[in-house]
C-alpha cells in the first residue's frame, strides 16, 4: 500500500472509524428485534438497556469526524473556498442521492415525481430527518463551523486543555437541559434545529471539539491515554453496568418514557462515551503498531479495505435494514429463536451493506454515492491519495 513518505499515516484512526460505524449498525439492527416483543416486556427492556452502553457509537463517530477534520489541516494554510468545495462535494452527492433513492421506494406505489412528491423530497433535504440522514446534515453544519473552530484553536494555543474542559462542561449542561428542561417547554415556534436538537451540530459540540483537539495534539493525546489505559479500562468495566442501571433509573425513578429513558443526550452518557472513546483510541494505537510491524497481514488487509467504505455502510444501511424488517415479519413475535437470529441478522446487515459498498466503491460514477474516490489499482497494489 503506497502512502506519502512525508506524512505519517495513522492506521488506528481507520480502525476507530470502522468500529464506531459497525456499532451504529448494530444498534439499528437491535431496534428492529426489540419491537418483536411487547413494549415494556422483559425482552423489550433488555434490548432497550442494550442500547445504553452502545450509545458511545454516535458520539464516537462525532469525535472521529472532528479528529479527521483537523488531523492534517490545522497546521497547513487553509483555502476556505477550496476546503468547502471539496468537503461538500463528497457529502452532498450522497445526501441528495440517498434521500432521493429511499424516498422513491418509500412513496411507491403512490404517485412519485409529481409536485407534491418533490415538495416532500425537499422537506427531507432541509430537515435531514429520514433514513438516518441526520448525520450528513450535522456534517454539513460542521463544515460551515470549521473556520470558526480553527480560529478558536489558533487564538487559544497553549490553552487547549482548558478549551476541552469548557467544551465538555458545556456538553454536560446541554444534556442536562435537554433531559430536564426541554421536555417541559413549548417549542412550537422555535427554529427547526433547536426543536430537533439531534440534527443540530452544537448539540455535539463537546465531541467535535474533543476530536479536533485530539487531531491537533494526536501524539500527546495518544501518549496520555496509553499511560492511563488501565484506569480507563477499569472505568469502562464499571461504566457498562452503571449505564445500564441508569436506564432503569430513568424508567423507575424519574418515570421517563421508554424512548426518553434511553435517549442518547444524557449527562452520564457524555462521561461514559468519553471513557469508551479513550479505550477505542487505545485499541487504534495497538492496531497501528501491528500494521507497522507487519503482523496479522490478512486482518490488516481486511480492515484496510473495510475502513474505506465505512461511510458507505452508514449510507446504505437502510437497504439492509428494510430487507430485514420485511423478513422478520414472517417470524412469530416473542419466538425463542429470535435471540439466535439477532446476532446472525446483525452480521448479515453489516455484511450486506459492506458488499454493496464495495461494489459501489469499485465502480465508476457510483463511487460518488458513498463519498469515496474510485478505487484504483496499479500493478495489483492499491494507490491511496491521502488528503
**Residue 79, number of CB atoms within 10 A of its CB:** 10
Task: Return all residues near 104 (Cβ < 8 A) that are at least 6 apart.
Answer: 112
Q: Is residue 4 part of a domain?
A: no
Q: Is residue 5 part of a domain?
A: no
Q: Which three cell numbers stand for residue 24?
A: 451504529
Q: Which residues pair with 378 in a beta bridge?
A: 381
Q: Is residue 6 part of a domain?
A: no
Q: Is residue 364 part of a domain?
A: yes
By CB atoms closer than 10 A (0-12, 13-18, 19+), residue 145 is middle
Q: Is residue 198 part of a domain?
A: yes
Q: Could you read off the pLDDT tens digit of each residue along the chain, which spans 387 residues? A: 334 444 568 899 999 999 999 999 999 999 999 999 999 999 999 999 999 999 999 999 999 999 999 998 999 998 999 999 999 999 999 999 999 999 999 887 777 788 889 999 999 999 999 999 999 999 999 999 999 999 999 999 999 999 999 999 999 999 999 999 999 999 999 999 999 999 999 999 999 999 999 999 999 999 999 999 999 999 999 999 999 999 999 999 999 999 899 999 999 999 999 999 999 999 999 999 999 998 889 999 999 999 999 999 999 999 999 999 999 999 999 999 999 999 999 999 999 999 999 999 999 999 999 999 988 754 333 333 333
* DSSP code of residue 295: -
- State the alpha helices, DSSP H only, in the chain: 11-34, 42-54, 56-71, 80-107, 115-127, 134-155, 160-176, 192-195, 205-216, 218-227, 229-252, 258-261, 267-292, 297-308, 310-327, 338-361
Q: Determine contact, residues 323/352, Cβ cutoff 8 Å.
A: yes
Backbone angles phi, psi at 381, to 5 degrees: -115, 140
Domain of 246 in residue numbering reads as: 11-382
Write the Ramachandran bin of 376: left for phi over 0, alpha for psi from -120 to 50, otherwise beta.
beta
Q: Is residue 1 part of a domain?
A: no
Q: Is residue 33 part of a domain?
A: yes
CA distance 31 to 384: 36
Q: Is residue 119 part of a domain?
A: yes
Number of structural domains found in the chain:
1
Amino acid at each position: 500500500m503506497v502512502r506519502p513518505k512525508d506524512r505519517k499515516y495513522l492506521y488506528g484512526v481507520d480502525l476507530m472509524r470502522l468500529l464506531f460505524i459497525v456499532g451504529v449498525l448494530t444498534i439499528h439492527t437491535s431496534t428492529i428485534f426489540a419491537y418483536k416483543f411487547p413494549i415494556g416486556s422483559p425482552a423489550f427492556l433488555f434490548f432497550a438497556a442494550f442500547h445504553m452502553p452502545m450509545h458511545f457509537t454516535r458520539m464516537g463517530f462525532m469525535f472521529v469526524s472532528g479528529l479527521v477534520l483537523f488531523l492534517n489541516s490545522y497546521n497547513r494554510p487553509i483555502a476556505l473556498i477550496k476546503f468547502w468545495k471539496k468537503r461538500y462535494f463528497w457529502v452532498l452527492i450522497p445526501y441528495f442521492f440517498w434521500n432521493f433513492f429511499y424516498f422513491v421506494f418509500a412513496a411507491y406505489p403512490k404517485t412519485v415525481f409529481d409536485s407534491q412528491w418533490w415538495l416532500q423530497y425537499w422537506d427531507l433535504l432541509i430537515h435531514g430527518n429520514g433514513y438516518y440522514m441526520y448525520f450528513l446534515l450535522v456534517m454539513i453544519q460542521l463544515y460551515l463551523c470549521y473556520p470558526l473552530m480553527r480560529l478558536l484553536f489558533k487564538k487559544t494555543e497553549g490553552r487547549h486543555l482548558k478549551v476541552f474542559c469548557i467544551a465538555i462542561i458545556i456538553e454536560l449542561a446541554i444534556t442536562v437541559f435537554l433531559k430536564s428542561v426541554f421536555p417541559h417547554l413549548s417549542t412550537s415556534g422555535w427554529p427547526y434545529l433547536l426543536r430537533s436538537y439531534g440534527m443540530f451540530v452544537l448539540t455535539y459540540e463537546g465531541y467535535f471539539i474533543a476530536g479536533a483537539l485530539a487531531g491537533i495534539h494526536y501524539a500527546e493525546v495518544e501518549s496520555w491515554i496509553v499511560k492511563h489505559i488501565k484506569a480507563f479500562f477499569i472505568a469502562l468495566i464499571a461504566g457498562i453496568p452503571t449505564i445500564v442501571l441508569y436506564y432503569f433509573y430513568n424508567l423507575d425513578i424519574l418515570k421517563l418514557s421508554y424512548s426518553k429513558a434511553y435517549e442518547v443526550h444524557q449527562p452520564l452518557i457524555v462521561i461514559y462515551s468519553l471513557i469508551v472513546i479513550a479505550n477505542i483510541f487505545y485499541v487504534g494505537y495497538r492496531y497501528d503498531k501491528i500494521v507497522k510491524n507487519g503482523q496479522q497481514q490478512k486482518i490488516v488487509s481486511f480492515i484496510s479495505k473495510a475502513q474505506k467504505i465505512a461511510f458507505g455502510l452508514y449510507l446504505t444501511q437502510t437497504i439492509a435494514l428494510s430487507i430485514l424488517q420485511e423478513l422478520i415479519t414472517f417470524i412469530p413475535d416473542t419466538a425463542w429463536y429470535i435471540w439466535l437470529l439477532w446476532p446472525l441478522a446483525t452480521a448479515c446487515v453489516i455484511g450486506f451493506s459492506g458488499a454493496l459498498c464495495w461494489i459501489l466503491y469499485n465502480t465508476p460514477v457510483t463511487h460518488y454515492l458513498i463519498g469515496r474516490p474510485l478505487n484504483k489499482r496499479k500493478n495489483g497494489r492499491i494507490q491511496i491519495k491521502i488528503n
